Structure 1
């Protein structure tokens, strides 16, 4: 049970005005760095005069995957556990690992929502005689699931038993090789990116709020600049390759701009309420702990399923790649994970 002194300490507002001008400048510095990191892959891929090698995009994609996964565990789940274990909260919060439970709830909620979306989208495509692979890989009339989806079945003159079974289920099979990117497929990928960005945005707003009032501002400021730039690079590399119809080409740009604005808005909000906001109070600990835990679940699911599994296990190109290329992709991903995990020492 906390003493009266502890209660007062938990609710006290002790934010100083140190580095106030630099805190204001951080709004614009973080805005430029985060937005540039996110927009660069999107604009570079569309540019006719800026010829960026595919290897650069690959590096950003795999590096970003590692960044996102490390962010989930080191920068979200760990702070969520710490916040919900705060002595300022009622003793009941210490009787159960609520942060882990919320993270688990978030993972399964995202999984169920995505499962429903894929089933609905696949059913719509089948009504018009097309097959959709929810992993994003098109294989003609065959849409494989799981690791088998990374293997292309051999073409034979006769029909195999599986082909006959498919013909029974679908009287009008289509053998178009690689199907064009369909609106439903694009919508599914947009949903996946939206889920990823939603989790990242919650985290970005919270760290912006922390930066505005934290006493150890200088170190945290430098770390967050790198943090938001790397995280933006990972997000931007995903946004750059969403298959969209020309009329929807604005979506990746808007998503990049929203990400770039998230942390500066958090900083601005923190500066506006710094005379009333107590970072260690029960309310602040509860809000940040719950949001961090939920965001961690979103990024864990997205990072492990949408990024790792789809880029490696369910990707035919990667499964058939040389050992050298596979080692490069894994090494790049581990580098991103390691760098972001190291930044967790300071932020």
Structure 2
């Protein structure tokens, strides 16, 4: 179900640019342009460079199956994820959201209603709330399906029973497991080392990681297609050249973040390869679309600015939510990290480095 929705949204994203054609435009179109043959060479070079950088970035964390140091159970993985989360957070705040504000407040689209209300911030907020809802509903759905069998009516809840140190409770050190089913209600006590409890907790955590990876990829794909179209439709070398370099680093760092989430979600090899391929191809596909419609596409037309602004704001909201809630909060509040000062310090430094590197790239893209 989730995969079907994901592919449907992606298809809409790829088809939207074909309806954005030149209408009335601002004077930005009067800027000098370079020859089409020259710009085309650089655009084709950009496709290859960005494709390679994205594939390499998303592929590094996926090598965890073969390289033990990159596996989620290792301490270094916390630092890799913190760096990647910083990249994604800076992408949302520094790269995407300002572009959305610029597009939705442009004088080209008229004063009413766009100048009367902060639509970019509003759409980003709605997208964040929507991400929370999708996150919660999808996790709940997969949990019911997984633990409830075919009818989905079985609910499993696991609650830790906290016992005072001075208490002589016979159940100290155990976990109380409640199982509610359609035709009954049962209680049981399971020891801390129980394989059954460990398996249930592992499955719940895995479901959460899988939903996180899918929602995160959706937000990244939306942004990647739009920024690819922007490069593909550009007719000036002084715009294309810095964009090509900056976007290569951009895709590499974003790929590391997404790859870490995919690795932690433990998808099957085919699913992991598919998600990695979609991420790697979206920006090059966007560039290809931009090249194809460059003759009729006007980045400063009202329709173009509105559509791009809306999707950029939505993508920013999704990425900011995912970075703060599903990546940073989940790891930084992890008991394993809080009990280890070395992991904490390394993760904080990695977070600042990731956000800093991505912020510096905003100078060119």
TM-score of the pair, normalised by structure 1? 0.81
Q: Separation in 1 of the partners of 2:295 and 2:346?
A: 49
Aligned to 2:310: 290
Find the residue that maps to 2:108 and give its secondary structure: coil
Show CA shifts across 1:162-200 (max 9, x none): 978969985234442522576665444222211100000
Q: How many residues align?
A: 319
Relative distance call for 1:143 and 1:7 in structure 2 (3 A) is farther
Show CA shifts across 1:276-319 (max 9, x none): 11111111111110000011111111111000110111x12112
Q: Separation in 2 of the partners of 1:341 and 1:73?
A: 9
RMSD: 3.2
**Are residues 1:237 and 2:263 paired?**
no
Aligned to 2:244: 221
- Counterparts in 2 of 1:164-183, with a 5 A limit? 170-175=186-191, 176=194, 177-179=197-199
> Which residue, out of 90, 94, 98, partners 1:74?
94
Give 1:121 shift.
4.3
**Are residues 1:142 and 2:159 paired?**
yes
Aligned to 2:339: 320
- Counterparts in 2 of 1:1-347, with a 5 A limit? 7-9=24-26, 12=29, 16=34, 17=36, 18-42=38-62, 44-47=63-66, 50=67, 52=69, 54=74, 57-92=77-112, 93-123=114-144, 131=156, 141-142=158-159, 158-159=170-171, 170-175=186-191, 176=194, 177-179=197-199, 185-214=205-234, 215=236, 216-244=239-267, 248-313=268-333, 315-321=334-340, 323-347=341-365
Find the residue that maps to 1:95 and give its secondary structure: coil
Unaligned runs of 5+ in 2: 1-22
Relative distance call for 1:165 and 1:186 in structure 2 (3 A) is closer
Question: Which has the larger share of strand?
Answer: 2
* Conserved? CA contact 1:10–1:282, under 8 Å: no
Relative distance call for 1:184 and 1:328 in structure 2 (3 A) is closer
Relative distance call for 1:180 and 1:229 in structure 2 (3 A) is same
Show CA shifts across 1:174-231 (max 9, x none): 4425225766654442222111000000111111111123321111111111111111
Aligned to 2:12: none
